[in-house]
Amino acid sequence: MQISSKRAHSQRVSKLRVSKKTRKRLIAYLLLSPLLILLLMLLVGLLGGIVQSFGYIPEFGLHEFSLRHFLAVLSNENLLASIGQSLYVAIVATIVATILATALSYALVITGHNRGAIFAIIKFPIFFPWMVTALLMIDLFSGGGLLANIFKALDFKAGMGFLNIILYSPTCLGIILAFVWAVTPFMAFFIVTIMANITNTLSQAALNLGASPRKSFFFVTLPLCFPAIKNVALITLVSLFANYEIPLLLGMTTPRALPVEIYAQLETFPIARRPELMALCLIMFAASLLMVTLFYLVFQRKNINLKMPSKRI
């Protein structure tokens, strides 16, 4: 009797464990279902764009698969200039914003302002839409903006000359400044938490062992924060490369950034040339994918292995 009761008890316990595992799996699947649905929609749309880029759109009377649409797009000099401009702006803005966000995070941590009112004020640009950011830049740097009126009142001609190269110029300085102003707090928001934990533990231990603040930062804090910095920089890079509003409002009319060029072609291309537009979109997707792949290959290691100097730190 005792043996049978123990077997029955063990069977009930095993069933309860199985039911708990089943519930956990079911909850995980339910939580993942919105992501899976969005991923499926993305794959369906991407597959449709790929098919259309080769010229197969039966509803428009196009039934022939061909590479001539890609060749027609790639032979366009304005397109190549647009790709180069988008890459240049995204890479420069990401590098500058990453450096500023890392320095800002460290300054907030060592001064104890990584929480509270000051950090909340610094996060304000995160909540501004891209269009509002562009309008603020126009109000600040345009010929009739705030800085222009100040320079005119001071008769500062060099300042007026500097304003002429910020907006709507080949330097794309206005676009880069707008991007840096908008994404630096966003990047610092992710970096500051990890940096605060490291600074309060391992970095403090290095200081107690005789390391200088500079070497504690470069040999302890920065390498341990690098995975977070790398991930947020990748997100920022892809986001800036595909941004539309700021290059539209602050950039030149020609060459235009790649997203602006795609939207302009959408309005001007006839239906018969829709495959060229789909090829243009696919080229932008391939450029983003290539950029992510190169970024991963360059920073494929999880951490930076910095060698400590042999002498006492």
What's CA 46's distance to the chain center, in Å?
21
With residue 62 as reference, give the H or E element that holds it: strand 62-63
Q: Decide if 307 is inside a domain.
A: no
Q: Are residues 49 and 79 in the same domain?
A: no
Based on the fold, state whether residues 143 and 286 are members of the same structural domain. Answer: yes
CATH of the domain at 141: 1.10.3720.10
| Rounded distance between C-alpha atoms, residue 52 and residue 40, angstroms | 18
Q: 18 and 131: one domain?
A: no
**In this structure, are residues 55 and 65 in contact, taking their beta carbons and an 8 Å threshold?**
yes
Q: What is the full per-residue pLDDT of the chain (313 aa) written as tens digits? A: 445 555 555 655 555 555 666 777 777 778 788 888 888 888 888 888 888 888 888 877 777 888 888 888 888 778 888 888 999 999 999 999 999 999 999 888 888 887 778 888 888 888 888 888 999 999 998 888 888 888 888 888 887 888 888 888 888 999 999 999 999 999 999 899 888 888 777 777 777 777 777 888 888 888 888 888 999 999 999 999 989 989 999 988 878 888 888 888 777 777 777 888 888 888 888 888 888 888 888 876 544 444 444 444 3
63 forms beta bridges with 56
Interatomic CA distance for residues 287 and 86, integer angstroms: 10
Separation of alpha carbons 158 and 64, rounded Å = 59
- Both 185 and 92 in one domain: the answer is yes
312 lies in a domain? Answer: no
**Is there a single domain that holds both residue 137 and residue 18?**
no
Q: Are residues 116 and 145 in the same domain?
A: yes
3-class SS of residue 188: helix
**How many structural domains compose the chain?**
2
Question: What is the three-class DSSP state of 23?
Answer: helix
* DSSP classification of residue 99: H
Q: Is residue 64 part of a domain?
A: no
**pTM across the whole model:** 0.79
Per-residue burial over 158-167, b = 16 or more CB atoms within 10 Å of its CB, e = otherwise: eeeeebeebb
User: What is the domain extent for residue 151?
Assistant: 69-298
Position 221 in a domain: yes
Residue 56 φ then ψ, to 5°: -105, 95
**284 in Cβ contact with 262 (< 8 Å):** yes
Report the alpha-carbon distance of residue 197 to residue 204 in Å, rounded: 10
Do 244 and 272 share a domain, yes or no?
Answer: yes
d(CA 147, CA 174): 14
Residue 143 lies in a domain: yes
Residues 150 and 21 in one domain: no
∠ CA 227-230-235, rounded to 5°: 130
Q: What share of the chain is helix, strand, coil (3-state, %, to 5)?
A: 80, 0, 20
Residue 57, classed as helix, strand or coil, is strand
Give a yes or no: residue 303 inside a domain: no
User: Tokens 């941590």 — which residue?
Assistant: 109
